[in-house]
Structures are given as structure tokens and as C-alpha cells.
Structure 1
Amino acid sequence: MIEQIDPAAAWQFMLEHPEHVLIDVRDPIEFTMIGHPPGAHNVPLKFAPGWLINPDFLEGVRQIVPDLATPVLLLCRSGQRSQEAAEQLSAAGYSKLYNIREGFEGPLDDSRHRSSRGGWRYRGLPWEQS
């Protein structure tokens, strides 16, 4: 089962469950340049600019999270790629999956900008840039 969780609830979950792992599935450029939550592991699901599938995604997660019962929170830009990633991990046997709705930057607003209507940064949660 994949639980849908908002950014604030995800942060609270992370504080209360030190055994969790946060996987940011965005492209490494997004992760580095736009920012990410502290402690996030970057395992891209797809690579820009063509958004090609990462054939090593599952193996990359397995290296970080070998125990299928570990709580895994998944984050992307808006919550769509992280949902796809959660579905792949569920099919691979991971049992405690949390998709962070709104992602890091949130949905597009009427001007087609992000980080103005939702997302990790918009909610004022801790983040950093590399």
C-alpha cells in the first residue's frame, strides 16, 4: 500500500521515525540546484532533458534500503514521479511507502510557476542546496 502524505506530515513522520529513508527521485540537477530536504538520498527515476527512465532505479534504492520493511518516503517535484517510483517499489516488495503529495515545488499556479501554491519549500520545511 502506498500512503499519500502531505509535506508537513512527512516532516513530522521523519522526526518521529528515525528508521525512515527519504528518497528524492528527481534528476540530479533538480536535486542539486533547486534543493532538497536534509538527509534525502537522490535516486533518479528519470533523467532530464528527455526524461528517460533510469534502468538502475530499483537497484539504487536497494543499495540504500535493503530491508523491504523500512519506511520509505518518496519525493519529486510535484508528487507524480514519486508516485510512479512508489508503485515500482511496491511491486518489488517494499511494504511501507509514503508518497509526498505536492513534492518539493508543488503544483503549477495560474502563471505556470511552482513553489507558490504548495510543496516542501512553500510549506517552510527545512531544505538545502548542494
Structure 2
Amino acid sequence: MLMQRLTLVTAAAFMLLSINACSQDSGPTLAAPDAYAQAQAGKLTLIDIRRPDEWKQTGVAKDALQINMAHPQGDAGFVAQVTAETGGDKNVPIGLICRTGNRTTQMQRVLTEAGFTQVYNIKEGMAGSGAGPGWVARGLPVEACERC
């Protein structure tokens, strides 16, 4: 009986550890105000990875590059465009923002796997999430999308 309980406890612990490992973030995060301050200070390249219709809907975070993650050439095209925008410097600090922080998690992983070393996820996004109220609700500046 004791052996069965021990086995059950061990299995439960393993499952909890596995779930926790799967839910880990892919890298460092920044709150929207911190990302804005760093971008304004020239210490962070801010990239909005949403679609043009989303940029048109809410505007774009002030001074953010607009690089649609749904690139016609897939992840490789996205990485190539980010690489071009950063002058090939894979050590430049980059802050990714989307609507609610889900897509940025995915693209943070893509850029890190491509060799970028400082990719930050602005997890609250433009619209807000469990990570925070979001860029727009915080009253951070946005610019109209000129290319939408």
C-alpha cells in the first residue's frame, strides 16, 4: 500500500513539473512603460509584429518598426527582415509587441533560435493581457499606420 502511494505521489509530482516546464516563457519580458522608455532612450528597437489591419485599428506604438510576423516567406522571411532592420546586429536589444503577448512569445523563440541574443517580449501587448493593461490602456503614445 505504501509503495502504491509513493508511486502515485511521484507520478503526480512529475506531471506538475512537466506542466510547469511547458508553460515557461521563452525569454525575458518588459512591461509596456519600460519598453517605451528604453525605446525612447535609444536602448531598444521596438517591433510591432501584428498584421496591417491590426495596426490600422489601434495605431502603432510610437517609433515601432512594423514587421508583420505573417511574412510571405514564413519565419525565415520575418527573421531576414528583422536582421535587415537591425543592420545584421543580432546583439541589439529588441522588444516585440503584438495584441496580447501570445504571438510575441512565439516570435521571440524564432528570433532567439536564429541567434538574436536580446529579444524581449512585451507580454501585455497593445490591448492588454494577464501581464498588464496594455500599451493603449496605459496611455502610451501611438502613431497612425501610414502603410495600412
TM bin, normalised by shorter chain, reads 0.7 to 0.9
Q: Which has the higher contact order (CA 8 A, sep 6+)?
A: 1
Higher helix share: 2
Q: Percent identity?
A: 29
Please point out which of 40, 61, 66 is paired with 2:64: 40
Alignment of 1:93-108 (within 5 A): 93-107=115-129
Give 1:53 deviation, angstroms.
8.3
Match of 1:92 in 2: 114
Match of 1:73 in 2: 95
| Counterparts of 1:43 and 1:54, CA distance in 2 | 12
| Counterparts of 1:71 and 1:44, CA distance in 2 | 19
Structure 1 stretches lacking a partner, 5+ long: 109-116
Alignment of 1:1-130 (within 5 A): 2-16=27-41, 18-46=42-70, 54-55=74-75, 56-65=77-86, 66-107=88-129, 118-130=133-145
Give 1:15 deviation, angstroms.
2.8
Runs (4+) of structure 1 moved beyond 4 Å? Answer: none
Give 1:28 deviation, angstroms.
1.5
Greater Cα radius of gyration, structure 1 or 2: 2
Higher strand share: 1
| Contact 1:44/1:54, CA 8 A, preserved across alignment | no
| Counterparts of 1:30 and 1:24, CA distance in 2 | 10
| Contact 1:23/1:73, CA 8 A, preserved across alignment | yes
State the aligned residue count. Answer: 117
Secondary structure at 1:5 match in 2: coil
| Counterparts of 1:105 and 1:53, CA distance in 2 | 27
Aligned alpha-carbon RMSD (Å): 2.2
Normalising by structure 1, what TM-score? 0.80
Q: Deviations over 1:41-79 (max 9, x none)?
A: 1111137xxxx9834211111110110011101000001
